[in-house]
Amino acid sequence: MPGVGVEQEKQTAQGAMEISVSRQELLRELTATQSVVERKTTIPILSNFLLETDNDRLTITGTDLDQSMKTSCAAKVKKPGSCTIPARKLYDYIKLLGDGDISIKLLENHWVQIRSGRSNTKMVGMARANFPQVPEFPETSLTKIPASSLKNLIAKTIFAISNEESRYTLNGALLVLKAESLTMVATDGHRLAHIEKTGETLSNISGEKRTLIPRKALQELQSLLANSEEEYLEFADDEQTLFFRIGHRTLTSRKLTGQFPNYEAVMPRDNNKFAVVRSEDLTSSIQRVAQFADERSGAIKLRLEQNELKISSSSTDAGESEDVIETPYNFDPLIVGFNSAYLLDFLKATGNSGEVRLEFKDAQSAGQMRPEDGSEEYKYRYIIMPMRI
């Protein structure tokens, strides 16, 4: 077959890749990239990393078509080229090698040789041509976002994103950029987390820019931000794709399409009854009482009376429990039911420190929680729908 000869010639011309790279640096970048690679896929090439040489660097790309990660590390390039290697297998193998330099060399038929010290392994790769094209970061109209601010916004909202695949537009968080502020909102229809960071100076933003970021991309961003010393993240988008660049790592994600709910409409306006309690006390009480709540609903009862908050639950299977917390409450008595897990999610996000303010209108209306001693820069609010109990 004449075509086969041509293919072999092509591979010899392009693909005689041979490099040497530090095991520590390679492992660090593989760790950052491996989480985007699809474990179980019907498209075999998506289980592979793409390795490419670029001057004196090795570039590593992983993708599952919805999102991709591109990163790089220093390498001695003996022969430039590219190859693809099974991602999980490579990651697991490199983890088990001792420190030192690793040699990676492309052999015939897409096999790749990996040598380190006395270890010599050959892995079965696939043709570079089969690896999907990953979108390039658009250098125009990018916005620099302070990394610490974005990290805080994600941590305070990601838990409120819906798990129901059918509620497509709720499977992400809404990022609202203005020239002087950042806001993130997430909701699953039962509760809503809203945080705003003021006092920012964002470039290339006029008016308001709204972006819906999928949960999976937010999880990757959390991981990238946690493992980076960079002060800023560069953000850009086009019609289909979101781009996030932190130092030498770039995450791309397919956009979530559709209309995010009008969250301003559900923000409570007249919750004029309130109680202030220590986060630690409230967390401990809810955890104790929730042990005796109905397993399916997780519902607990909050009863506010003169200077005290009673938290209780009961179920026919487990029994009943009540905790009392002293609080300066001077309004009409109120009894309201909530999902205990939703309350604990908020308290955990605030770090279980300081005091929180619980604000109510009546037993049928949404309650609001917020840190009592919140910082001037961050305005954090958590709205939660009551349950019938």
Q: What is the CA radius of gyration of the chain?
A: 26
- AA letter at 83: C
pLDDT > 60? residue 117:
yes
Task: State the pLDDT at residue 16.
Answer: 81
Give the Cα separation of 227 and 68 in Å (integer): 18
Percentage of residues of the chain with pLDDT beyond 90: 81
Please, where are the H alpha helices in 75-201?
87-96, 147-155
Least confident of 27-36, 144-153, 198-207, 291-300: 198-207
The tally of CA atoms less than 13 A away on the side-chain side of residue 50 is 22
Give the Cα separation of 356 and 312 in Å (integer): 19
Segments of 118-170 assigned E as strands: 119-124, 143-146
- What's the mean pLDDT in 174-203? 93
Residue 384 CB contacts under 8 Å (≥ 6 apart), including other chains: 190, 191, 192, 338, 339, 342, 343, 346, 366, 367, 368, 369
pLDDT > 50? residue 296:
yes
pLDDT > 80? residue 81:
yes
Give me the phi and psi of 206, to 5 degrees please: -120, 135
pLDDT band at 131, cuts 50/70/90? very high
Q: Are 177 and 200 in contact (CB under 8 A)?
A: no
Q: What is the CATH number of domain 2-130?
A: 3.10.150.10
CATH of 268-384, one of 3.10.150.10, 1.25.40.10, 3.20.20.70, 3.40.50.1970: 3.10.150.10
143-264 and 268-384: identical CATH topology: yes
Task: State the pLDDT at residue 2.
Answer: 40
Task: State the pLDDT at residue 15.
Answer: 52
Task: State the pLDDT at residue 146.
Answer: 95
Task: State the pLDDT at residue 169.
Answer: 77
This prediction's pTM: 0.90
pLDDT > 90? residue 78:
yes
Sketch the domain layout of the chain as residue ranges: 2-130, 143-264, 268-384
- What's the mean pLDDT in 30-53? 92
Task: State the pLDDT at residue 7.
Answer: 39
Task: State the pLDDT at residue 42.
Answer: 87
- What's the mean pLDDT in 131-149? 92
pLDDT > 70? residue 13:
no
The tally of CA atoms less than 13 A away on the side-chain side of residue 42 is 0
Least confident of 38-42, 89-93, 135-139, 353-357: 38-42
Task: State the pLDDT at residue 247.
Answer: 95
Q: Residues 143-264: name the CATH superfamily.
A: DNA Polymerase III, subunit A, domain 2 (3.10.150.10)
Task: State the pLDDT at residue 3.
Answer: 42
- What's the mean pLDDT in 54-79? 95
Give the Cα separation of 221 and 151 in Å (integer): 8
Give 206 or 193, the one with higher predicted confidence: 193
